[in-house]
A and B are shown apart, each in its own frame.
Chain A
Amino acid sequence: MIADMKVEDIVGDYQEVSLQLYGSITRKILYTQIETSYPDGKLIVSTTDPAGIITHVNRSFVEMSGYREDELLGAPHSILRHPDMPPVAFKDLWDTVQRGEKWQGFVKNLRKDGGFYWVKATVIPNVRAGKVVGFTSVRRKPSRTKVDECSKLYPTLF
């Protein structure tokens, strides 16, 4: 399950939009223009089941997302989906990992407080005994150049 965002969680001036997520889920998104910069030296790590439901998060994931761990476990990974991210990027991600390949890209993620943070994400299928049992996503600090490029490119992909 994925709940609508709540006004009381939002920090700063916000805009509202309705976002269509994977699996016919519609979510009310409240988002601000406040960026949290990626912390140096850390990796944000999460694992999902084959359907994209979060099964593991590390401490950096919890800190950067603004959610509590118990709010994240069992939620779809699209809880981080920011309205500025073009759906075509996630289609490419899913098509790639479902072929059993590694996907890499720059992603603008949504925080619980409505703010955002940019990451360089790599997603790989977890293959155990020849079967895909889930996906691991590892994010690292992106360069400002790449973030600026993506900030210009992504609005053209809708």
Chain B
Amino acid sequence: MSFQFTVSPDFTPDHLSGWYIFNTWLQKQTGLAIHLEMYNDFHSQRSAIQANHVDLIYANPFDAAMLVRERGFLPLVKAEGASDEALIVVNAANPVIDVAELQSGTRVAFTEDPDVRLMGMIMLEPADLDNGNIVPISADNYVLVAKQLLKNQADVGIFLAEAYDDLSAMIKSQLKVLVRSQISVIHHALMIGPKLQDQREDIQNLLMSMSADEKGQGVLKNLGFSSWQIVDDEEMEFMIDLMDTLNT
């Protein structure tokens, strides 16, 4: 029997090979046949989840409620110390210094990342901006969000903090951060589907011991973090409830 593993499509491109290496490590450790399927976008990934094709997922927090409540997934781990934060950014030459100064009709550039977009739109609320009175500009990645700002084709960009921090110093010198979220409790998580749940504890133990051996450390390094941290059911339920309050 073969299982399918997938990663939230908002993974950093630099870590693509890291996920393949991780999957190879996981197969060797568990003795299970696990196929890594990378979907190009959230829509196709969600269709695969709905069709019960996915058994293991590194999930975006926005999808956690659907995975737990509709598809019976349970949390395993998250990257230690990591959380998703969003930034509201404008062109450095823009005279605006406070979000509250933004007006209806503001052109807002963002990627498809659902949790970052949600946090970003919440940070625009002090200006009475919402999906009904902004001009949305969709971009394939954060470098393109930055380009829209630099070319004055967008007034505001919503960034994943990590992606903004990774932009070149030259690009950042031409941009201005208005707000950086400090939410701390919204994070991606590795989650396990119903077909694999009898292995939950074993897999969790394997993942938690990864940082203790050299090979495991190397695999984690390729993912961009140094260890996993357990996510228990209540922590996941708390995050789902929190996302639910924000999604209003």
Contact = CB atoms under 8 A, between A and B. Distances in A.
B248 A102 contact: yes
A27 interface: no
Interface string B97-125: 00110000000000000000000001101
A122 interface: yes
Interface string B163-201: 000000000000000111111110000000000000000
Interface residues of A, number: 26
B33 interface: no
Nearest to B98: A40
B122 A145 contact: no
A23 interface: no
A128 B245 contact: no
A43 to B, nearest CB: 5
B183 A42 contact: yes
A138 interface: yes
A142 interface: yes
Contacts, number: 63
Contact of A138 (B99, B178, B184, B245): B245
Contact of A141 (B126, B242, B248): B126
A143 B238 contact: no
A41 B127 contact: no
Contact of A41 (B179, B237, B238): B179
A42 to B, nearest CB: 5
B48 to A, nearest CB: 27
B67 to A, nearest CB: 17
B128 interface: yes
B102 to A, nearest CB: 11
Interface string A41-65: 1110101000000000010100000
Contacts of A43: 183, 242, 246
B128 A143 contact: yes
Main secondary structure of the interface of B (DSSP, over half): helix
B232 to A, nearest CB: 13
B104 to A, nearest CB: 11
B241 interface: yes
A148 to B, nearest CB: 11
B244 A124 contact: yes
A152 interface: no
B245 A142 contact: no
Contacts of B126: 40, 141-144
Interface string B197-209: 0000000000000
Nearest to A145: B128
A152 to B, nearest CB: 16
B123 A136 contact: no
Contacts of A140: 122, 125, 246
Given A138-B245, A140-B122, 20 more contacts: A40-B123, A40-B126, A40-B178, A42-B182, A43-B183, A43-B246, A47-B238, A102-B244, A102-B245, A122-B246, A122-B248, A123-B245, A124-B244, A126-B237, A136-B241, A137-B245, A141-B126, A143-B100, A143-B125, A144-B126
26 contacts: A40-B123, A40-B178, A40-B179, A41-B123, A41-B180, A41-B182, A41-B183, A58-B185, A60-B182, A102-B244, A120-B125, A122-B245, A124-B244, A124-B245, A126-B241, A128-B237, A136-B238, A136-B242, A138-B242, A138-B246, A141-B125, A141-B126, A142-B125, A143-B128, A144-B126, A146-B128
The 7 closest A-B pairs by CB, nearest first: A122-B245, A138-B245, A41-B181, A143-B128, A40-B179, A41-B179, A136-B241
